[in-house]
Structure 1
């Protein structure tokens, strides 16, 4: 039996601002925006992903900004970072994780599986973007 992760709830304080950030700045597709009166559910999906996020009102008891460790994967981290910068996202420089810890990326580094950038949404929910170009 397959068990697939399909949705992650992301706690936000301002649904419209968060929707704009995820759709306009990150390029997530808006799958639906449903207002159920006492609750509002907005589902967004990163391009190419089988897993979506849901933001909204009345969706979760988690405090806005309390979700840490969300991770996206791309096959070209420098291009992904450039796209985020172009869209106005405050994103870290590329970091390489290795046996001695984390260091800034250098020209010639193989970023496969070890290259990361980080950013937060308007509420402070923390995201990482990892480069994976091949899997073992």
Structure 2
């Protein structure tokens, strides 16, 4: 593998209730369900991917030692913070208003365990 070809493709999100997390991320937020495999009583692997993302997220049983809700500030880039805000609100997700900063527009939300997410619309200097 060439050192100039490293990619982040999977990030763990620690949750306390796998089915509740799956319902939140897939049914409520709208991520695509890629996998849901029960390997054993001690290992379940669920993978979801935001539309258009090259990076997926996983959660389940036996995947991480992080306590539920401890993943803070995962950030995704979106074309429009206003559209992302509307999408989340239409689906019943509690989220911040659009936060206008010189370097971007942001919307923040948390999953039922308290893992936090930032959605950023990039702002290019004129």
TM-score (norm 1): 0.85
SS in 2 for 1:79: helix
Measured against aligned partners, the alpha-carbon deviations of 1:19-72 in whole angstroms (never above 9, x if no partner) come to 010001111100010101120000000000000000000110000000101011
Question: Is residue 107 of structure 2 the alignment partner of residue 117 of structure 1?
Answer: yes
Contact residue 92 and residue 119 of structure 1 kept, 8 A = yes
SS in 1 for 2:47: strand
Counterpart of 2:64? 60
Counterpart of 2:6? 3
- Could you tell me which of 105, 118, 122 is aligned with 1:128? 118
Structure 1: 4+ residue segments shifted above 2 A: 132-136
For the aligned residues, what is the CA RMSD?
1.6
- Could you tell me which of 69, 77, 80 is aligned with 1:76? 80
2-structure distance, mates of 1:97, 1:9: 28
Counterpart of 1:33? 36
TM-score (norm 2): 0.91
Structure 1: 5+ residue stretches without partners = 99-112
Q: Alpha-carbon deviation of 1:97?
A: 2.1
